[in-house]
Amino acid sequence: MKTIATTRSATGIPTGRLAVWWVLVSEIVIFGGVLVSYVMHRLGHAEWAEQAAHTHMWLGAFNTLVLLSSSLSAVLAHQAAEKGDGKKAANLLYLTCLGAVTFLIVKSFEWTNEIKEGFTIQSGGFWSYYYTAAGLHAFHVIAGALIMLWVANSAKKNQDLHRVENIGIYWHFVDIVWIFLFPLLYIAK
Amino acid sequence: MSAQSHAQGHGHHRNYVKIWAILVGLLVVSVLGPMTGIREVMLITAFGVAAVKAYIVAKNFMHLDIEKPIIRWTLAIAVVFMVLLYAGVAPDVQKSDGQHWKKDAGFHHLPAQPQHEGAHAEGAENGSHAPAEGAKEQPQGATGH
C-alpha cells in the first residue's frame, strides 16, 4: 500500500507539511544557539572585527544572490506543482539544485583560500564560529539538495507533487539562515 | 483553512519574480551600507535589511501569511527561546570580570581567598596548592570546575 499524506484533524495541516514545520522549529533552536552565542561573544570581543576583516564580502554577497535565486526557482516549482505540471516543477527543482552546487563550489573556493592563508577552525574564537556556523549551514544545503533531487525525480513522473512544497519550505529556511549569516560573518567588521 | 484553499492561496496575486527583484535590491543595499564608513548606517543596512529580507522570504516564499496560526506561534516560541538564551548568558559572556574570574587575553580562574589566615600561611610555606584541610571532607566532584 502506498503511503499518502493525510491532513491532521487537530491542526488541519497535511502531515508532511506539518512535519517540515516541526523540523524547522528545531532548526531555529539549533542555528539560533550558534548565532546567539556568536553575537554575544562578538560583542564581548571587539578584536574579532580584525579577524572578520579577512572574510571575502563579495563572495558572501554572490552566494546570497545564488541562494535568493534558488529560493525563487523553488517557489516557482511549487507554483508549477500546484498547477499539476510535474515536469516543470522537476526542472525548476533541478535548477534549485544547481544553485546549491554553485553555492558549495564558491564556499569550497573560499574556505580553501582562507585555510591556505592560515585561518583554520583553531585560529581563534571568530574562526571557530565562522567554520562551525557556515559548515553547519553548508551541511543543510547538501541535505536539502539531495532531498530535492529525490523529490524532483518523483515530480517528473507527476507523483507526490505535495512534496515540492515541503522541500521548498525547508529550502527557504536555509536561505533565511544565510541571510543572517552573511551580515554576521562578512559585513560586520 | 483547508489544504486545498491553502494551496489556492499560494500562487495567486503574487509576482515571485518581482519579490525576488526586491530581495536582490535589498542585498545591494546591505553590501553598499558598509562602504559609507558610518557604523550606524552599516548596522542598519546589514542587520535591519537582513531582518526585512527574512520577513519577505518567510511571508511570500514560505507563505507564512496564509499558514495556520499554530505554525506562526510555534515558530515564534522557538525565536523566544533564542532571546531567552541571549538574555540569560550574555551578561556573563560580555562582562570582563566577576567573582573569582577575569578575562583578558584568555579566561582565568582566580584562586579563592582562603577562609583562615593560618591555612593560607601553611600552604604558602609548603609551596602547595592543595585545598585546606576541611575541603578534603567534601565528596568527590563537589570541587569540580
Query: At a CB cut-off of 8 Å and minimum separation 6, what does A33 contact?
Result: B82, B85
A14-18, A171-175, B29-33, B134-138: least confidently modelled range: B134-138
- Please indicate, yes or no, if residue B59 is contained in any of the structural domains: yes
The total domain count for chain B is 1
- Environment class of residue B116 by beta-carbon count within 10 Å: exposed (0-12), middle (13-18) or buried (19+)? exposed
Beta-carbon contacts below 8 Å between A and B:
133
CA A8/CA A101 separation, integer angstroms: 35
- Give the full edge-to-edge strand order of the sheet including B97-98: B97-98, B101-103, B107-109
| Backbone φ and ψ of A118, nearest 5° | 100, 5
Binary contact (B90, A78; C-beta < 8 A): no
A6 within some domain:
no
> Are A75 and A137 contacting, i.e. CB atoms less than 8 angstroms apart?
no
Q: How many residues does chain B have?
A: 145
Can you give the pTM of this predicted structure? 0.82
> Would you tell me which residues 39-78 of chain A have a C-beta closer than 8 angstroms to some C-beta of chain B?
39-41, 43-44, 57, 61, 64-65, 68-69, 71-72, 74-76, 78
Domain that holds residue A115: 15-187
3-state DSSP percent of chain A in helix, strand and coil, to 5: 80, 0, 20
Determine whether the interchain pair A187/B34 forms a contact, defined as Cβ–Cβ distance below 8 Å.
yes
Please report where in the chains the cell 553548508 appears, as a residue. Answer: A138
Q: Say whether A36 and B85 touch across the interface (CB within 8 A).
A: yes
Q: Is A40–B93 a contact, with Cβ atoms under 8 angstroms apart?
A: yes
> According to the model, what pLDDT value does residue B113 have?
67
Q: Is residue B136 part of a domain?
A: no
**Mean pLDDT of chain B, nearest integer:** 76
Is A110 a member of any domain? yes
Q: Is residue B90 included in any domain, yes or no?
A: yes
Helix axes A125-156, A86-116, angle to 10 degrees: 160
C-beta separation of A114 from A60 below 8 A: no
Q: What ipTM goes with this model?
A: 0.93
Vertex A54, ends A50 and A58: CA angle to 5°? 130
Q: What is the mean pLDDT of residues B62-77?
A: 95
Give yes or no for B57 touching A (CB within 8 A): yes
Q: Is the pLDDT of residue B27 over 60?
A: yes
Q: Which residue of B has its CA nearest to A35?
A: B82
Domain that holds residue B60: 3-97
Q: How confident is the model at residue B63 (pLDDT cuts 50, 70, 90)?
A: very high
Task: Give the closest-approach CA distance of A79 to chain B in angstroms.
Answer: 6
Distance from A101 to chain B by nearest Cα, in Å? 20
- Which pLDDT score is estimated for B105? 62
Q: Are B45 and A57 in contact (CB under 8 A)?
A: no
Residue A5: inside a domain, yes or no?
no
Residue B97 has what pLDDT?
A: 76
pLDDT of A19 reads 95
**Structural element, H or E, at residue A134:** helix A125-156
Domain containing residue A139: CATH number: 1.20.120.80
Letter for the amino acid at A66?
V
Torsional sign, CA B70, B71, B75, B78: positive
Q: Does A92 reside within a domain? A: yes
Residue B117 lies in a domain: no
Tell whether B75 is covered by a domain. yes
Question: B16 vs A35: CB contact, 8 Å cut-off?
Answer: no
- When comparing pLDDT for A49 and A150, which is higher? A150
A167 interface with B at CB cutoff 8 Å: no
Q: Do B77 and A40 touch (CB under 8 A)?
A: no
**Which residue's entry shows cell 532571546?**
B83
For range A137-153, the mean pLDDT: 98
- Asked if residue B25 is part of any domain, the answer here is yes
pLDDT at position A158, please? 95
Q: Please tell me the number of Cα atoms within 13 Å of B33 on its side-chain side.
A: 26
| Å between A133 CA and nearest CA of chain B | 16
Residue B127 lies in a domain: no
Report if residue A30 sits inside a domain.
Answer: yes
Share of chain B above pLDDT 90, in %: 44
Give the closest residue to A100 by CA, choosing from A61, A167, A146: A146
The confidence band for A142, taking pLDDT boundaries of 50, 70 and 90, is very high
The whole-number average pLDDT for the span B83-88 is: 92
Q: What sign does the dihedral A75-A79-A84-A87 (CA atoms) show?
A: negative
Per-residue pLDDT reduced to its tens digit, A65-119: 999 999 999 999 999 999 999 999 999 999 999 999 999 999 999 999 999 999 9
Tell me, what amino acid is at B145? H
Q: With an 8 Å Cβ cutoff, are A36 and B33 in contact?
A: no
**Among the listed residues A185, A127, A175, the one whose alpha carbon sits nearest the alpha carbon of residue B47:** A185
What single-letter DSSP state applies at residue B116? S
Cα-to-chain-centroid distance, residue A3: 28
Average pLDDT, chain A: 94
Instruction: Evaluate if residue B138 carries a pLDDT over 80.
Output: no
Is A7 a member of any domain? no
Number of domains in chain A: 1
